[in-house]
Structure formats: structure tokens, C-alpha cells
Chain A
Amino acid sequence: TGNTPENNQGGGTQDGVKVANDEPGKKVVIGFSAPAADHGWMAAISNAAKAEAGKYSDVELRVVEGTNDVNLQISQVETFINDKVDAIVLLPFDGAALTPVALKAMKAGITVINVDRQFDSPFAARSTVLGDNYGMGVSAGTYVCERLKGKAGAVVAEIAGIDSLPLTQDRSKGFAQALAGCGLKVNNRVAAEFTVESGERAAANLLQAAPRIDAVWNHDDDQGVGVAAAVKNSGRSEFFMVGGAGSANVMREIKADNGPHKATVIYPSTQGADGVRLARLAVQGKALGDLVEVEVPRQVQLYAPVVTKDNVDRYLPTAFES
């Protein structure tokens, strides 16, 4: 897509290519399925997708109930296939598990756009939009290294998200590797469940486990609200926090610079919206603006930048409200 699509409300009209792309074309029916919206980021994913679809008169978006049951999600995709939709934007609960049905959809001639959690077959999707989980960890780790520069024996803590998800492991891996680069390691690690409440619970325990901490990376700004509450409750302030995903309220906190949050690493909640756009373009046979290539690319990996006080203004407008 264009540079930052969500900046230009109404589909964007700044440059020629985009205008051409935004011209209404053939009607596109897009099915959208994602895991249960049991946390803010995931809710933001479908909200953004819906909002995006609403901007195009030639897009009909069918959003089905979010679910964490792969069996049900498969059947939702099957329904889309039965309905002969033009494209399916699929954020699978488990990429590998949804691969067979995505293949089936592709075979049925439906354009599948894979979002966030990758299929294990290259033929299962026309195009893939990915966040960069590993990169997120690296960015966070690098930032922590920079800030703790030269501090020997610094204690780093990590509050992960749902531990059984591959994305959590990718994030942790990136974080650990980046820390290793500057001689640090994760001293204490707990996992929450992407919810405010679980964040609070995990953090309360963590703060007891580690009497002194220098830096905390919290994978998810949703649970971060709870983490912040626990921190406040403990009265501790010797450490700084790095967030994850990039919610608006954490960015506001970074901007105000009065809480533990000094930075957050973005994991775009607009992936679903990008998926919808890509699906539309792919079905209508259009190309991606700003690229010379005449087809939509196979894969788009979104960047995981670190948001600090210095650059927060740039990211705040696209941040999701958790």
C-alpha cells in the first residue's frame, strides 16, 4: 500500500497511483476471519479492516465471529468457499492448521490474503502481510541495550503474551538475541494472556520475584495497562518499561513522559486493513502503488519501529485504542 494509508482518511488522494487504485472497480466480496477478539489488538485488527472496507464502495466485507477454535475457523473459511467470495483475508489462529483450507480456497480460485500468522505452504495464499514478531523482540532488545549501556549486572525482565503462540516465542527469541548482543539476558520472565487482568496478575508476581529491575519489556500494550497498574501499586520506579504492539494510551504515556513507559515497539494493528486493500487490488488486477511491479507482491512484512518520546507524534495517529 501507500506510505501510511491510515493517515489519509477516505482512501488517500495524494498521488496519482493511489488515485488510480482507489477508483471504484469491479465489485469485490471479501471474507474476513480472525481469532477471537479477546484483546484490544485483535479487536483493532477487525475494526480497522471493517473501517478500511467501508472506504471503498466496491468492497463488500463479510466478517465472521472471531474464534480460537481452528475447527470452527476452518469451517468459516469453508463457508466463504461455498459462497464463492472473491477473496479471503485470513488471520489464522494457527497458520499451519489453517493451511489446508486456505489451499482449498486457492484451488477454488479465491484470492487468499494471509495476515500476521503465516501458512506453512507458499501456495496457500496469494499474498502475505506480516508483522515482524522477531523484529519486535530485536527492536525492544536493542532499545533496552542502548538505554542500559554500560550498566553491569542489569536486571532485565520480560512479560510475554500467551506463551503457547509461536508469535510469542518469536518475540522472545528476538529479544533474547538482541540482549545477548550487549551482554545482557532476561533475568525474569513471566507470561500473561494479552488481557489487562492477566497483565496485572503476572506483573504483580514478577515484581515480587525480582526485587530490583532495570528494564521490563512487555510484549503487549493491552496487558500493559494491567502491568502499569501493578507497577503503580507496588510503588516501584527504579526501572523503565518498553511496550509492545503500540497502543494509543501507551504512546500518550510516552509522550507525557510521566510513567514507567519510555518506549513501545509497534506491531501494526492495521495488518487486517492492509490485507483488505491487498485483496481488493489483487482481485481487481491492480498493482501496489509506489512499486514498479504490476502485480501485488507475494509478501509484505511490516516494520517494527521503536516509538520513543522523540518520534511518538508520528505514530500516535495510527495507534489503536486498546
Chain B
Amino acid sequence: MTAPAAALLSVSGLVKRFPGVLALQGVDFDVRAGEVHCLLGQNGAGKSTLIKVLSGAHRPDEGEIRWRGEVVSFGNPTAAMRSGVAAIYQELDLVAGLSVADNVFLGHELSTAGFSRRAEARRRTRALLDRLGHPDISPDRDVGRLSVAHQQVVSMARALSLDGQLLIMDEPSAVLDPDEVRVLFGVIRELTAQGVAVVYISHRLAEIREIGDRVTVLKDGRTVATGLPAREVKTSELIALMTGRVLDNVFPDRKPVDPAAPEVLVVRGLADGDRFRGVDLTVRAGEVVGLAGLVGSGRSEILETIYGARKAAEGTVAVDGRPLRRGSVGAAVRAGMGLCPEERKSQGLLLDQAVYRNITVSSLSSFARFGFLDDRAERARSARLTESLDVRPAGVERVVRGLSGGNQQKVVLARWLLRECRVLLLDEPTRGVDVGARSEIYELVRALADSGVAVVVVSSDVEEVLGLADRVLVVREGRVVHDGPADEIDESRVLDLVMEGHAA
């Protein structure tokens, strides 16, 4: 369905500098009306920066943007919106505290003489949410209380409400489950059929093959290939273009778990009195346990409760046989647990502080003598870790805010690697992480497990759960409905279990 229309948007020689970083250094590509143009690239390649330049949120330092053939400069987001460019940002830029409807129409409020037409806004929001397959989200809900997935849906509703000619989506599927991705694709097809162009960013190559028409690959802020046919181009070629190397096996080989290995993490009858109940979980040393389930099934809550970040109503958590005090993160961390939370920005990172400080924050006492820190050792150890994780740009003094999403995720991981945990809880560890880095993270998790760490992984990517975990638990509506070895179950069975009773 490649529509050979004239270019709606074309970009040439785009350059964007940040203090100390050249985020874009010569990007060229063009988007035609009615097509889905995919942007691919490693973490930090400059995709989000490009989006922000296109939507008027950043001003380019050099280069030319042509909109319908005319050179334009979108000085601010309003100008871009007026021209018909709508964007969904990676950072979920919604305003917590405002309702869903208010967020959808923020900046282009429906109003008469300054007075909000609230009923109308609610009605139209309702319609947009229905169209996105989410009649369950109320337009009156406070956006801050929605799950990340639902927030993403609201962001999409917001972009749709702008009625743009060009819709830019920065990793919209990262927090969605397969079902929701399918709905999203339906909407995208509907839009392109109406002649709307879509720029689609994702790290999931399968999605790109399914929805994309053409592909542009960015590497280090430069276009390395553009206009590739999304369906025909070979995966290995794309990966090679992105990473500059060849990657044949995404998931590392599993080593069979020693059935006699000690049970490191034992959870019995855990319930938080609200979102889940009766959770039993045993993880042996060297074992990776995956939790699959729909978004909203309560997996994050289970992890957080195990970790003591939420208070359990019932049940026990024991590490190495010793029960932990309920509701105490400190006790969990001392017992050797670590958590990579789901929302790295709000829960994981000290955004305005240096990379190394984010890494050492959980291991401070090991760098301290009588409370005095050895700053140099901190930096050295952190530098070694970031190097081995290939955090880009390098430099442990860098402020985390300036890193791309995937690299931020690696920083959180590095924190727990440094601490040498006994139990590692990973909530969506590869959300927003590129293929190359993802396989690195997989290898890392595997290597950790092989060194005797007990790992629990929550992921909405069923393939990831199956590929990485030794054992898979399926969670549905706060209950564990399946518990078995990963090689005895396949993707469709998991999806069946996950969706059971759901309108699948």
C-alpha cells in the first residue's frame, strides 16, 4: 500500500547540537502522504531528537524542513500543530492531575469565549478512546492515576484529536500488549487510508514489517539508509545498518537449571489486599522466572510487593530462607534484592544527577569508610560498568536526563550489577531498548543467572519472556494462572492463557 504521492514532508541536512553532544548530524528523509514511514536506530541514534525538531519542540541548528514543498521553520509546537503535524512523544508528556479529557485537548482546548466546553471535550475524548479500543478509560480520570499503558493510549488520543496530516509516534508500542498493538495498527491503517502520513518509531522489527511501508535507519545522528521497503528488507541487513555489526541470535542459550540449586527467593501466599492475591513463587539460584500477563494484570504490583515497596496484606517473602520484614525496601535491599522499576524516569533515576551517582546510589556504603565516600573509586567502578554495558554517550559525569531512553535503562541495570544482588527483579527491562542493546541485556541477565543470581522478569513481550526465562508464570487479574518451564509452552498458549476471559 505504498502510495506514490509527492513528499508531504522532506528533511535535508538536519543538525541539532546539545551542549557536548551532536545529537543530529545530517539527517535526510522524506515522508509521503498515506504512508507509514518507520524510523529505526539504536538507542541514542537521535530518533526522538528528530521528532522533537519536526514537531517544533526543538529548533534545528542547521538544515531544511520542507512541508508540502515549502521551506518552513516550526518555531514552537503550536506552529507545527497548526500546519498539521501531531506528535506522540516517547516521554509521555501528559500532565498528571488533569483529567484524561483535559490532557487530550490541552493546548487546543474546546472553548467558547475562553470557557471550556467540557461536555463536548468529554464526548469527543470518549469517541477517540473508543476508537483506540479503550472504552474502559474514563475521560474524567486523573491521568496520573492511569497505568503507563493507558497513559500511552491517552497520548495517542491526544495526537488523533489534532486531526493532523502527519502523525509522529515515538515508540508507542513499548508499553502496549499485543492486543492493544493490534488495535493501534488498525487505527494507523484507517488513518493512512485517509491520506494521513505516519512516522513510526519502534525497536520491534516485527512491528515494522507488519505496519511499515518504508524504513529510514539512523545511526549516530546520521541517515545511513532511507526509503528501504519495510517488508522486503532483511532483518540482518537492518541490524547491520543500525549497529554496524552482525547479530544472529537475539536470545542467549539457556543453561539447564540445577534442580538441586538452593531456593533463593521464596514467596508464599502474597496478597496486597487489592490488586492481587495468593501469589506463590520460588526462584532458584541461577534461574530466570518470567511473569507474563496483560498490562494491568498486576505484575508490577507483585514485584513491588516482593521488594517491600508496597505493603503486603498477607503472605511471606523470604530470601535465602530468611523471611523479610513486610513493607521495608531497606530490608529487601540488605537481603540482596534489587528492582529495576517499570517507570525508570519517575521511579528509577535521579534525572539531574551524574550517571555514576545513579549507579552507586544503592551501594554507597561499599564505597565509604566511616561514611566518607571514595569518589574516585565510585567513578572508576561506574565507568567500567557503563563501558561493559555500552552506555552511550560515555562519561559517568554526564547528567542522566540527557541520555536516551535505552541508555537510561542501562544505567538502572548497572546500579544492581554493581551491588551484586542475590535476587534481581526486572520490570520491563527492555522497554525502549534497541535490538543490539536488548540482546546485550539478555546476555547480561543470563550471565547473572549463571553466576547464581535469582532473576524475576516482568515483560509484556511474550517472545522475550519465553526466550529469556527458564520458567514462565502467567498472571491474569492478580492471580497466577500458570506456572511451568519455558520450553513446555509456546507463544500462542501463553497468549491464550493471558487473554482468557478477555475479548481476544
- Are A and B in contact, CB atoms below 8 Å, in the complex? no
Residues of B within 8 A of A (CB): none
Residues of A within 8 A of B (CB): none
